[in-house]
């Protein structure tokens, strides 16, 4: 699976617009079944609400996209919510906006703004991360060259997870899988070919995304 963006954590946000309460709930969902279970649970929790509108995107390339206006005029709730998820380039996220009607009608354009903005502000409040597939690689060097190598690593985007000191020095690095060949090339140059390598497992790492 490719690197992809998702929400940093589950969360919720409430906005009041012309006496109506709009509550957006966000959750990471890896499958359509998880998304539907989340939506159903909120419908049960907020069974007195006028509407529980939803949208979700699932899959590496957003293969699954669903939305529901849940009684609001067609295209005024689920679609603007889905548009926000897609504009944010998110994957595996479900959004539900619960509305308690306050007595003042918003009109179609007002509803589109309300559902879209509530979803956007909720996403901004929990932040966005990129899940990157990275490779653990141990770089083993002698003590005389360890200071230079450590300084070089600190000046790169590679993550130095730990440093082990035995009869030699081992730098435990995390490298984006697409940059592994470059990592070997650079570190071989730094060590003049004197470093030794040991490849570990791969892992998904979350990196904050600045809009």
Domains in the chain (CATH in brackets) are 4-126 (3.30.230.30), 132-208 (3.30.70.240)
What is the model's pLDDT at position 1? 64
The dihedrals phi and psi of 17, each to the nearest 5 degrees, come to: -130, 115
Helix, strand, coil percentages in the chain from 3-state DSSP, rounded to 5: 35, 40, 25
Q: Band of the pLDDT at 202, cuts 50, 70, 90?
A: very high
State the pLDDT confidence band at 113, using cuts at 50, 70 and 90: very high
What pLDDT sits at residue 2? 80
Residues 71 and 55: beta-carbon distance below 8 Å: no
pLDDT at residue number 209: 83
Angle at 97 between CA 20 and CA 112, to 5 degrees: 70
What pTM did the predictor assign?
0.81
CA-wise closest residue to 96 among 10, 190, 188, 208? 10
pLDDT reading at 191 higher than 80:
yes
- Express each pLDDT in 13-63 by its tens digit: 999 999 999 999 999 999 999 999 999 999 999 999 999 999 999 998 889
What letters, b where the CB count within 10 A reaches 16 and e where it falls short, cover 9-29? Answer: eeeebeeebeebbbbbbbbbb
If you average pLDDT over residues 142-168, what whole number do you get? Answer: 94
């Amino acid at each position: 699976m490719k690197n992809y963006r998702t929400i940093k954590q589950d969360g919720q946000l409430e906005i009041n617009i012309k006496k109506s309460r709009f509550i957006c709930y966000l959750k990471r969902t890896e499958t359509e079944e998880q998304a539907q279970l989340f939506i159903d649970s909120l419908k049960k929790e907020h069974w007195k609400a006028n509407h529980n509108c939803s949208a979700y995107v699932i899959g590496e390339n957003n293969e699954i996209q669903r939305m529901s206006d849940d009684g609001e005029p067609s295209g005024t709730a689920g679609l603007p919510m889905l548009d926000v998820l897609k504009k944010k380039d998110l994957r595996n996220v479900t959004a539900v906006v619960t509305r308690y009607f306050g007595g003042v009608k918003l009109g179609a354009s007002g509803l589109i703004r309300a559902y879209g903005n509530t979803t956007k502000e909720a996403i901004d409040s929990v932040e966005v991360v990129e899940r990157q597939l990275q490779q653990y690689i141990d770089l083993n060097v002698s003590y005389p060259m360890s200071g230079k190598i450590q300084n070089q690593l600190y000046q790169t985007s590679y993550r130095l997870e730990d440093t082990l000191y035995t009869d030699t020095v081992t730098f435990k690095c995390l490298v984006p899988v697409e940059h592994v060949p470059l990592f070997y090339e650079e570190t071989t140059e730094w060590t003049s070919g004197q470093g030794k390598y040991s490849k570990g497992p791969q892992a998904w790492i979350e990196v904050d995304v600045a809009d």
